[in-house]
Structure 1
Amino acid sequence: MDHSIIDAHIHLDLYDADEQAFILRDMEKHGVQALISVSQHLSSARVNLTLSQKDNRIKPAFGFHPEQALPEEKELTNLKLFTEKHHAEMAAIGEVGLPYYLRKKDSSIPIEPYIEILEQFIQQAVALNKPIVLHAVYEDAPIVCTLLEKHSITKAHFHWFKGDRKTMEQMISNGYGVSITPDVLYEQEIQQLVKQYPLSHMMVETDGPWPFEGPFKKKMTHPKMIHHTIEKIASIKKMEAQEVYNILYENTKQFYF
């Protein structure tokens, strides 16, 4: 495979062992140089660390995914201690952010405790000099931008971002990165994001094992899908595919490595 790619956001620990082995065997054939494998919570972080110790193409990120019930104080403390202990082995703090979809299902869930936890992770990213991977969409994104600005964070990656033009302009002005998922092939909202966001601050991801529709319906989410994503980005940007491949690859390398 001539085109090198990096999956900038995948939950490798959520695949079963056979699926993980299949993806890892397949990586070289499809030009996949690395996987940024983000974590859901402490036990997820431990699994991702173990996976990375077995295969150095896996780059783990440690964090607490916000679309779940708040962690106990002890777990949060232990996660932060784990992250500090293994910071040299991790690519980033993540996945962290705010619970947009959880609160859509149950509007009684308060956002303030999640903001407090997110700020703790932002402070840890600053202390450890690491990038941060964010789950922050729609009206939650401006809240997160304000927190990042408060702590002078520049290396912020909004994965699978969705939001309004004003927030997007704020993110672009601050130099924050976004990553594009395979649904760019069939979702106008994501296609519009690609049109508006500069390629210089863009990456590509699968968010696997999250499933996709369109040409990927009923297929296991695999990093090779990124090739379709990049071809679509090139088409939208009216650029040569090879140039887009090169820029996205270098963006991700510079951001994470």
Structure 2
Amino acid sequence: MNLIDTHFHLDFYRDHKYWYDYINQNRQYTLCVTNTPGVYYSCKRIYSETKYLKFALGFNPKSIVSEKFDKRLFNHLIGEAKYIGEVGLDFTGNLKERREEQLQCFDYICSSINENQVLSVHSKNAEKAVCDILKKHKVKKTILHWYSGNLETLKELIEYGYYFSINTSMLQSIKGQKILKSIPQNRLLIESDGPFTKVNNQKYNPSKLQEVYSQIGAFLESPEINKLVWQNFKDLITQGKN
């Protein structure tokens, strides 16, 4: 089974061309999320999407402190995007001051997508609000990226049918481990969130993806983690198809 990375930031690597080629040569299915519509637009102009590498149209809630959500560009691009991300809410630190602006932005994004688009969602200290907006707009094909909220909201998200992308950094805390154990294995996906995670104390790059799978598989006592993730991702993207 080919490896799948459902949340990766190609544009944050200085040697992005090298890793673009590496991902394709090694046939690692990779979803490259972006933090603004402008970054998505630039990535699509620089690189062709391939069988193995796709770009997601995003607006990371953290970006709201440095630039306004470009609704016009987002609207122009959303029709071509199969994947939407990184999007969501973040109510940590000074981002709490932009709570209402974030809520309006995420609500607009969720109201704009179609039933075939897949979301990768950020939800720091805002899990319940994220859940409520997703349910309000009946968004189905959703991956909760690096979930770190409470177990009660986690249960609600699971009941609604959502998936969860997990990484090795979640293994480093008791809370993270508890979350991993609480997610049904048929809802698990693997992410790197590269370059914002480490594997064996080294900054992640795509050559370390198999090690991510191995470490998470060992923790979950799932020797066929590659096969499990492959099937889960297939189930996600074919939701609603006869």
Is TM > 0.5 for Structure 1 vs Structure 2? Answer: yes
SS of match in other structure, 1:149? helix
d(CA) in 2 for partners of 1:207, 1:51: 21
Contact 1:4 1:32 in 2 (8 A): yes
Q: TM-score, with normalisation over the residues of structure 2? A: 0.87
Q: Aligned partners of 1:185 and 1:51: how far apart in 2?
A: 35
Q: Deviations over 1:148-197 (max 9, x none)?
A: 11111121111111111101100110111111112144333322222110
Instruction: Please say if 1:98 is aligned against 2:84.
Output: no
- Contact 1:62/1:83 (8 A) holds in 2: yes
Q: Secondary structure at the match of 1:136?
A: strand
Contact 1:195 1:236 in 2 (8 A): no
Q: Which residue of 2 aligns with 1:79?
A: 74
The answer on 1:135 being equivalent to 2:122 is: yes
Asked if the contact 1:38–1:48 (Cα under 8 Å) also holds between the matched residues in 2, the reply is: no
Structure 1 residue runs without a partner (length 5+): none
Equivalent position of 2:207 in the other structure: 224
TM-score of the two chains, using structure 1 as the length reference: 0.82
After superposition, the Cα gap between the structure-2 partners of 1:110 and 1:27, relative to the gap in structure 1 and judged at 3 Å, is closer
Alpha-carbon contact 2:37-2:74 (below 8 Å) kept = yes
Displacement after TM superposition at 1:13 (Å): 1.8
Instruction: Indicate yes or no: 2:131 matched with 1:145.
Output: yes
Verify the 8 A CA contact 2:88 2:122 in the aligned structure 1.
yes
* Separation in structure 2 between the aligned mates of residue 58 and residue 130 of structure 1, nearest angstrom: 16
- 1:27 aligns to what? 23
Structure 2 counterpart SS, 1:78: helix
* 8 Å contact kept, 1:182–1:228: no
SS at structure 2 position matched to 1:69: helix
CA contact (8 A) 1:6 1:32 kept: no
CA RMSD after TM alignment: 2.3
| Contact preservation (8 Å) 1:184, 1:229 | no
Which residue does the alignment assign to 1:245?
226
Structure 2 Cα separation of the partners of residues 52 and 172 of structure 1: 35
Structure 2 counterpart SS, 1:113: helix
Residue 233 of structure 1 is matched in structure 2 by 216
Whether the aligned pair in 2 keeps the contact of 1:230 and 1:244 (CA below 8 Å) is yes
* Alpha-carbon distance change, 208 to 238 in structure 1, aligned in 2, over 3 angstroms: closer
Structure 2 residue 11 is matched with structure 1 residue 42:
no
Q: Deviations over 1:47-106 (max 9, x none)?
A: 232355264422111021101226446x2222222222xx2xx331111111233xx136
